[in-house]
Amino acid sequence: MKHYLEKLLKQENLTLEEMKDAATTSFSEHISESELAAFLTGLRAKGETPEEIAGLAEVIRTQSSQTTNELANVMDNCGTGGDGSHSFNISTTAAFVLAGAGVKVAKHGNRSVSSKTGSADVLEHLGISLSFSKEHVEEMIQENNIAFLYAPHVLPGMKRFMTVRKNLGIPTIFNLIGPLTNPVNLDTQLLGSYRRDMLPVLAETLHQLGRKRALVINGAGYMDEASLAGENHISLMEEGKVTSFTLHPSEVNLPVYDNNDIRGGDAKDNAAILLDVLNGKKGPYYDTVLLNAGLGLFAGGAATSIKDGIKQAEESIQSGSAKEKLQRLADYSSKITSEAI
């Protein structure tokens, strides 16, 4: 670890293999919390590269007992969090719309960190299990197009880093890494980030991690989701090539709303918003989900354009297919809980 710390102090980047070695070493009990803190601070001060981010993500994934390559054509639409917008659970709601449109979704998430309610909080309130086994996840994705992977359950080895991050009190590489550590082998991804400056870097990181196609988004107001408040900044990665562009809601025939119009609340409030959207209640929440689900369908290759994706997203909701995916996941959760008693 000392060798890697010296490289970082000299503003030298670590190779992918060096980062994987450093990350593997970080999981060892022989490495002190002060060494971990110095390593994370050194990376942040230098600026993280795609190879460094990908190297850490790969090692974290190998620590999970749920790492699987059994599924094909699966995507995730998890954001990094950290935007401070206090919005409702946009990507969680959109995930069911994606599943309803025929996309296989391994929805990775956690409890709230910077917002009032994380994906795990709202899904738990809706009766979704936070302890699906690897077999449960595979079965649900195959049969229902969607399963939920609760980060602390599928990545228990991350606990030792939590104290270090809390004591440091500054953003580190871990504020970027969450959506990249999904133990399911993903083909495509829609990734939201609160850091606009990192979009091309994260797009290249997704290429390093083997994604065939991905969209990385920073919304108007620096949200880690696409927003209807104005211009969204997007990087598209396809077969290793990264291109960047902006998207205004008027370009896809959606109205403009202030970000305050999509604020959420506690788990009960956000569960009600999620159900309203899946029941087809029109308004800012609904249109925001249409935009994000449309982008997800485009990212996953199920739609030929963002407009086409939005059209498919609306069909998923209005047909009742999106809500059916939620209900089947809740029913399955109830079934496995009963069997365990």
242 carries a ligand binding annotation = no
86 carries a ligand binding annotation = no
Residue-level pLDDT, tens digit, the chain, 341 residues: 899 999 999 999 999 999 999 999 998 888 899 999 999 999 999 999 999 999 999 999 988 878 887 899 999 998 998 888 889 999 999 999 999 999 999 999 998 765 668 999 999 999 999 999 999 999 999 999 999 999 889 888 787 788 888 888 899 999 999 899 999 999 999 999 999 999 999 999 999 999 999 999 999 999 999 999 999 999 999 999 999 999 999 999 999 999 999 999 999 999 999 999 999 999 999 999 999 999 999 999 999 999 999 999 999 999 999 999 999 999 999 999 888 76
CA distance linking residue 79 with residue 91, whole number of Å? 7
Q: Which residue has the tokens 């990249």?
A: 180
119 carries a ligand binding annotation = yes
Partners of residue 188 on adjacent β-strands: 75, 213
42 carries a ligand binding annotation = no
Condensed to tens digits (0 to 9), the pLDDT of residues 188-229 reads 999 999 999 999 999 999 999 999 999 999 999 999 999 999
102 carries a ligand binding annotation = no
Domains of the chain: 1-63 (1.20.970.10), 74-157+183-329 (3.40.1030.10)
110 carries a ligand binding annotation = yes
Confidence (pTM):
0.95
Contacts of 179 (CB under 8 A, 6+ apart): 76, 78, 79, 80, 108, 189, 191, 192
Partners of residue 149 on adjacent β-strands: 108
- DSSP states of 156-213: GGGHHHHHHHHHH-S--THHHHGGG--SB--SEEEEE-S-GGGHHHHHHHHHHTT-SE
160 carries a ligand binding annotation = no
Other residues' Cβ atoms within 10 Å of the Cβ of residue 17: 10
CA 275 to each of CA 33, 187, 202, 239, 287: distance values in angstroms, whole numbers, following the listed order: 43, 29, 32, 36, 14
Helix (H, G, I), strand (E, B) or coil at 24: helix
111 carries a ligand binding annotation = yes
92 carries a ligand binding annotation = yes
316 carries a ligand binding annotation = no
Rg of the chain, C-alpha, whole Å: 19
% of the chain residues with pLDDT over 90: 82
192 carries a ligand binding annotation = no
250 carries a ligand binding annotation = no
328 carries a ligand binding annotation = no
- DSSP states of 224-248: SS--SSS-EEEEEEETTEEEEEEE-
Contacts of 230 (CB under 8 A, 6+ apart): 220, 221, 248, 249, 256
136 carries a ligand binding annotation = no
115 carries a ligand binding annotation = yes
Using the 8-state DSSP alphabet, how is residue 68 labeled? B
211 carries a ligand binding annotation = no
First to last CA, the chain: 46
Tokens of 9: 């102090």
**How far is C-alpha 239 from the chain's CA centre?**
20
109 carries a ligand binding annotation = yes
In contact, 298 and 126? CB cutoff 8 Å: no
